[in-house]
Structure 1
Amino acid sequence: MACCLPVQTLHINSRTFKVTKLLGEGGFSVVYLVQDVATTRLYACKKIYCPDGTDSVKEALKEAETYRMFTHPNIIRILDVCVVQGKDGSKTVYIFLPYYRHGTLQDSLPPTESGSGETGPTERSILRMFRGVAYAVRALHDHELPEVPARRADSLDEGYGMELEERDVDGTGAERHVAYAHRDIKPGNVLIADDGMTPILMDFGSMQRARIHIRTRQQGLFEQDKAAEQCSMAYRAPELFDIKTGTRLDERVDIWSLGCLLYAQAYGESPFDVQLNQQGGSVAMAVQNGRWSFPPGHTKYSKGFQELIRFMLVVEPRERPSIHQVIDRLDALLLQTST
């Protein structure tokens, strides 16, 4: 998709917005910084082009509905959404989100060459930022469906178009816990709030119900292709590269991504970007074999900090910790870290 700005104004829902800057792009979507002409307020506007008609519009609106599911200080909130039909019959979905002037965590990562020196962020500042992301992930993994009387499991799933995890639903509301996985946690998907300290998890286009039993080869290939399209390779969990029949995916895909995120906060890039840049070879093979290392000669961060990263980067998902175990270890490490 071209990087140039569209027409300088957008007329949506009886409001006029001035397009001022391109913030990011990927696939069929771009994100612009726009200003409401009447109020001068700034927004991030995600524009999703839907060339395939109803199905692609439904997919885009699913992302908008996903934002509405969560109310959490470390999760971005949606402000508005609308669908505009073009003269050629195509449709475009606009999602309006808050604009944060500090950009994303990707913009503030330390230079990779600082890994063995004493420059870059302090261990405590990294851990405090990371804790906010972990709290956001906990909200996804511990999601409770709203109480809706006398609804069947299949109708519960219709609202979001996502995979329904296997559970008994008896209409009483007793089984309302549904784990969701973000599946694309990376520095570029973590905004920094205007206070400069609070992380905001964003971009839920890849998010879905986490617990999926892979019963057929066809289903495995479908999930594998979807992960390849939606999940950044250097932060993607090993089990998403070669999904085998009879396996079960769950929310621990996010724990792996969190391990890569914490590494990047300290050393400037994912451990698997390091593997590719310094040694060449296949990122996919390095991820599946758990082949990574810390920068040689590094002394800035504690052994406990590095052990927290190792704690999350476990190739076998059944041996990987839960988000609660990660937060417990993180909190203990923060208690040990000087202010």
Structure 2
Amino acid sequence: MGHALCVCSRGTVIIDNKRYLFIQKLGEGFLLEPHLGRVSAKWEGHPTPHQEISLGLSRVGDDHGPSLTPLAHSGFSYVDLVEGLHDGHFYALKRILCHEQQDREEAQREADRHRLFNHPNILRLVAYCLRERGAKHEAWLLLPFFKRGTLWNEIERLKDKGNFLTEDQILWLLLGICRGLEAIHAKAFLSRDARRDLKPTNILLGDEGQPVLMDLACINVEGSRQALTLQDWAAQRCTISYRAPELFSVQSHCVIDERTDVWSLGCVLYAMMFGEGPYDMVFQKGDSVALAVQNQLSIPQSPRHSSALRQLLASMMTVDPHQRPHIPLLLSQLEALQPPAPGQHTTQI
């Protein structure tokens, strides 16, 4: 669970015998939209009180992108920016409010899932502990801080300038995301499960622009009760415009596997290509996304994209999950489409 945690004076805490200084935090009752602000200025030293910072950690149901807020309260957790006084590095401290034993167990599972991986495309866990104050509990996850924010931040930054990601950049990002998903699905007890909340706001960008997956939540379906549980879980925790068709009406003993992730990955690919998710406008107009996803997606024509990329997107957005490609096949296709090695640096963002 982690070493003892103490809350010290002058805005510092000790986790695993290391002291961390709070740079920005949210007080109790400070309610904001359930997602994080984007980086709006060059990072230089400590942030000012008004500087927007993206930590890229949130739990969202039906959002479409980050709001312009310094830090955000997601409904059941907070994210604070802290500085390690032992190394001078910045970290994201995710504080999960645990009202019941079930909340504490879920927080522990989240920490355990992060500990499973040492992969460049999956968010690593620096430290974890459970803070107890009387009847109140908070699970604290110390995570790396990504000053570049999320993939959605990058998409919006380019859109503001009238630009889009290039095809080489898209292919490079998609390859990294697929490699992260492959590692997640390779774990024996996760192989039956899908991530189910894959979206641009849940993909961080490292210093070199590499994609890093940060939401490892999963759930399995084996019967009618589990099916209803998954349907409710998806409605609460999966962004509706990135949700696979099979998650709107989950059947008993249905096939919910990595191909559910492939649909969401296709939505991410679409957003990288066109600057918005394929069903964002449907939701914003108040129309039914559940009905819209039952029809084959119409992909806009654009001279920016090759026929190979369009075909890849179409295969991922197939309504029938049995007809979608598995992650290994996607990886082989993406590796074949990557630009030559000498120009590799041009694909970074």
Q: Once the two structures are superposed, what CA deviation does each residue of 1:119-144 show, in whole Å capped at 9, x if it has no partner?
A: 32210111101100010011112224
Asked if 1:284 is matched to 2:290, the reply is yes
Aligned-partner SS, 1:221: helix
Write the distance in 2 (CA, Å) between the matches of 1:98 and 1:335. Answer: 30
Q: Which amino acid aligns with 1:281?
A: D
> What TM-score do the two structures reach when normalised by structure 1?
0.77
Question: Structure 1 residues 113 and 128, CA, compared in 2 at 3 Å: closer, same or farther?
Answer: closer
Q: How big is the shift at 1:302?
A: 1.5
Aligned-partner SS, 1:96: strand
Q: Once the two structures are superposed, what CA deviation does each residue of 1:259-289 show, in whole Å capped at 9, x if it has no partner?
A: 0011111111210113334x651122212x1
Q: Which amino acid aligns with 2:218?
A: M
Question: Counterpart in 1 of 2:166?
Answer: 122
Question: Counterpart in 1 of 2:56?
Answer: none
Write the distance in 1 (CA, Å) between the matches of 2:71 and 2:333. Answer: 35
Structure 2: gaps spanning 5 or more residues = 1-8, 25-69, 344-349
Count of residues in Structure 1 that have an aligned counterpart in Structure 2: 289
Q: How big is the shift at 1:10?
A: 4.1
After TM superposition, which residue ranges in structure 1, 4 or more long, deviate above 6 angstroms?
111-115
Aligned-partner SS, 1:254: helix
Question: Counterpart in 2 of 1:198?
Answer: 210
Question: Structure 1 residues 55 and 246, CA, compared in 2 at 3 Å: closer, same or farther?
Answer: closer
Question: Counterpart in 2 of 1:67?
Answer: 114
Q: Which amino acid aligns with 1:284?
A: A
What does 1:154-303 correspond to in 2, within 5 Å? 178-195=191-208, 197-204=209-216, 206-208=217-219, 212-213=221-222, 215-216=223-224, 218-277=225-284, 280-287=286-293, 289-290=294-295, 292-295=297-300, 298-303=302-307
Write the distance in 2 (CA, Å) between the matches of 1:38 and 1:136. Answer: 30
> What TM-score do the two structures reach when normalised by structure 2?
0.75
What does 1:318-337 correspond to in 2, within 5 Å? 318-334=322-338
Write the distance in 2 (CA, Å) between the matches of 1:336 and 1:239. Answer: 38
Asked if 1:39 is matched to 2:87, the reply is yes
Question: Counterpart in 1 of 2:317?
Answer: 313
Aligned-partner SS, 2:322: helix
Native 8 Å contact 1:189 1:201 kept in 2: yes
Native 8 Å contact 1:9 1:16 kept in 2: no
Question: Counterpart in 2 of 1:108?
Answer: 154
Aligned-partner SS, 2:169: helix
Q: Once the two structures are superposed, what CA deviation does each residue of 1:87-108 show, in whole Å capped at 9, x if it has no partner?
A: 4x11001100111211111110
Question: Counterpart in 2 of 1:55?
Answer: 102
Aligned-partner SS, 2:258: coil
Question: Structure 1 residues 262 and 24, CA, compared in 2 at 3 Å: closer, same or farther?
Answer: farther
Native 8 Å contact 1:110 1:267 kept in 2: no
Q: How big is the shift at 1:44?
A: 0.9
Write the distance in 1 (CA, Å) between the matches of 2:179 and 2:143. Answer: 20
Q: Once the two structures are superposed, what CA deviation does each residue of 1:24-68 show, in whole Å capped at 9, x if it has no partner?
A: 44230122211123432210111100012x221111111000001
Aligned-partner SS, 2:117: coil
Q: Which amino acid aligns with 2:182?
A: R
Q: How big is the shift at 1:257?
A: 0.7
Write the distance in 1 (CA, Å) between the matches of 2:156 and 2:137. Answer: 40
Q: Once the two structures are superposed, what CA deviation does each residue of 1:61-87 show, in whole Å capped at 9, x if it has no partner?
A: 110000011221111110100111124
Q: How big is the shift at 1:255?
A: 0.5
Asked if 1:137 is matched to 2:181, the reply is yes
Q: Which amino acid aligns with 2:258?
A: E
Native 8 Å contact 1:143 1:179 kept in 2: no
Structure 1: gaps spanning 5 or more residues = 1-6, 145-163, 166-177
Native 8 Å contact 2:297 2:317 kept in 1: no
Q: Share of identical aligned residues, percent?
A: 34
Question: Counterpart in 1 of 2:20?
Answer: 17
